[in-house]
């Protein structure tokens, strides 16, 4: 229970929780070592984490031993805790060949859909039956804690996913609430920054042969002649010409020569640790005409985007593309400036 309430376990996830629990369990049982296995496609078992196995078991060679594998698979089939020592006192797995001087204790980690993994420890054999049963009971309790932790993690993911969908629906509404180009650009950069939880989101619009910065998250006004904005536009134009997105995570060695220098120049001004530049293209219904609308720029200053955030970029890009296309078309309507002037007079 101390491990479950640990702030480190809550913030760092299952790997930290599993390491802390296994260490605590080994010390409580005075065991020689232990491991947590995760079930793959039957009958595969993958070692998630272990402690001291390489020291107590001939470099851990027994992990690939047929007898040990059969023992673990029997635990999965039975869906109950088992103990096997040199004399096979319990008779739990009488058909399994024993090849270690230690007792093997293993308990399945059970979730709603079946056995998710196995918690295992190795102990010096004991003639005390009550002590062995007590060890097995503590192992079962620990496996149940692991199961509860995984279920809580899954629930947290579902809540986070539900919240993300609500944010996405709100973003869709904001981006399509007004066809004014400046308002749409403002909603894109600020709404997408919140949705992705990045540090800065910028939008550059294609004007003639050049890209111009029209919106930056977190500010209503910015100096369009500043060195940082100028270098961002140079970098974005290089990316647009390549017709491919650019992902920067601190290294430039793998970049094409035409991109390497522009991104170095911009990083010197912005001090970003991570960047994603995504050209926005719009294709005609026939697919014969491809128009470059602009470039989205996502920046991080502390830590680059994680895998989950990166997976949301295509969704944001598609949403921004549609909203920007509608706003540009509306802005280019004949006499739109006259209509705006007349509306201003009425107000």
The reported pLDDT for the residue numbered 235 is 96
Q: What pLDDT is stored for residue 12 in this prediction? A: 62
Cβ neighbourhood burial of 342 (10 Å; 0-12, 13-18, 19+): exposed
Tens digit of pLDDT for each residue in 287-306?
A: 667 788 999 999 999 888 98
For residue 315, what are the contacts with CB-CB under 8 A and spacing of at least 6?
168
Burial class of residue 273 (count of CB atoms within 10 Å of its CB; 0-12, 13-18, 19+): middle
Q: Is 52 exposed, middle or buried, given 0-12, 13-18 or 19+ CB atoms closer than 10 A?
A: middle
Instruction: Spell 164-189 as b/e; 16+ CB within 10 A means b.
Output: eeeebeebeebbeeebebeebbbbbb
- What is the pLDDT of the chain when averaged over all its residues? 83
41 pLDDT higher than 60 = yes
CA–CA separation, 96 and 107 (whole Å) = 16
Mean pLDDT along residues 326-336? 73
Is-above-0.75 flag for pTM?
Answer: no
pLDDT at 97: 43
| pLDDT, tens digit (0-9, with 9 covering 90-100), for 121-180 | 988 887 888 888 899 999 999 999 999 888 888 887 777 777 877 888 888 888 888 888
261-293, pLDDT tens digit by residue?
999 999 999 989 999 999 998 876 556 677 889
pLDDT at residue 91 in the model: 41
Q: Find residue 107's DSSP bridge partners.
A: 119
Element spanning 256, H or E: none
Predicted confidence at residue 25, as pLDDT, reads 92
| CA torsion, ordered 118, 119, 123, 126, to nearest 10 deg | -80
> In terms of Cα–Cα distance, which of 209, 252, 216 is closest to 232?
216
pLDDT per residue over 78-124, tens digit each?
999 988 865 553 444 433 444 457 888 999 999 887 899 999 998 88
- What average pLDDT score do residues 229-240 get? 95
The one-character DSSP state at 98 is P
If one compares 129 and 260, the residue with the highest pLDDT of the two is: 260
Summarize the confidence of residues 211-230 as an average pLDDT. 93
Percent of the chain with pLDDT over 70: 82
Give the residue ranges of DSSP H helices in 176-306.
Answer: 181-196, 227-242, 257-270
pLDDT tier at 3 (50, 70, 90 boundaries)?
low
Distances (CA, A) of 316 to 54, 65, 153, 300: 47, 50, 26, 16
Residues 6+ apart with CB under 8 A from 295: 203, 204, 211, 236, 239, 240, 277, 278, 279, 280
The residue behind tokens 């550059």 is: 204
Residue pair 157/163 in contact (Cβ under 8 Å)? The answer is no
């Amino acid at each position: 229970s101390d491990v479950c309430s640990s702030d480190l376990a809550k913030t760092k996830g299952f790997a930290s929780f599993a390491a802390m629990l296994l260490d605590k369990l080994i010390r409580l049982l005075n065991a020689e070592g232990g491991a947590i296995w995760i079930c793959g496609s039957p009958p595969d078992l993958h070692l998630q984490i272990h402690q001291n196995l390489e020291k107590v078991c001939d470099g851990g060679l027994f992990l690939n031993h047929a007898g040990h594998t059969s023992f673990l698979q029997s635990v999965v089939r039975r869906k109950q805790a088992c103990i096997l020592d040199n004399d096979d006192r319990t008779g739990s797995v009488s058909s399994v060949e024993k090849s270690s001087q230690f007792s093997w204790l293993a308990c399945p980690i059970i979730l709603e859909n079946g056995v998710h993994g196995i918690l295992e420890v190795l102990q010096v054999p004991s003639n005390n039956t009550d002590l062995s049963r007590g060890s097995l009971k503590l192992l079962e309790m620990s496996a149940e804690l692991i199961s509860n932790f995984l279920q809580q993690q899954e629930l947290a993911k579902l809540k986070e996913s539900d919240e993300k969908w609500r944010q996405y629906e709100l973003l869709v509404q904001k981006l399509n609430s007004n066809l004014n180009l400046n308002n749409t650009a403002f909603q894109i950069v600020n709404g997408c920054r919140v949705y992705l939880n990045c540090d800065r989101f910028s939008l550059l619009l294609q004007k003639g042969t050049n890209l111009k910065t029209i919106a930056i998250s977190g500010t209503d006004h910015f100096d369009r002649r500043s060195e940082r904005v100028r270098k961002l536009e140079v970098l974005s134009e290089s990316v647009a010409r390549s017709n491919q997105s650019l992902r920067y995570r601190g290294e430039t060695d793998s970049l094409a020569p035409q991109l390497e220098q522009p991104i170095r120049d911009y990083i010197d001004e912005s001090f970003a640790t991570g960047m994603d530049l995504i050209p926005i293209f719009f294709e005609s219904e026939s697919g014969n005409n491809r128009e470059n609308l602009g470039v989205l720029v996502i920046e991080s200053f502390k830590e680059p985007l994680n895998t989950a955030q990166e997976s949301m970029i295509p969704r944001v890009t598609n949403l921004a593309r549609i909203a920007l296309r509608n706003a540009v078309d509306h802005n280019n309507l004949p006499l739109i400036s006259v209509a705006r002037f007349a509306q201003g007079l009425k107000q």
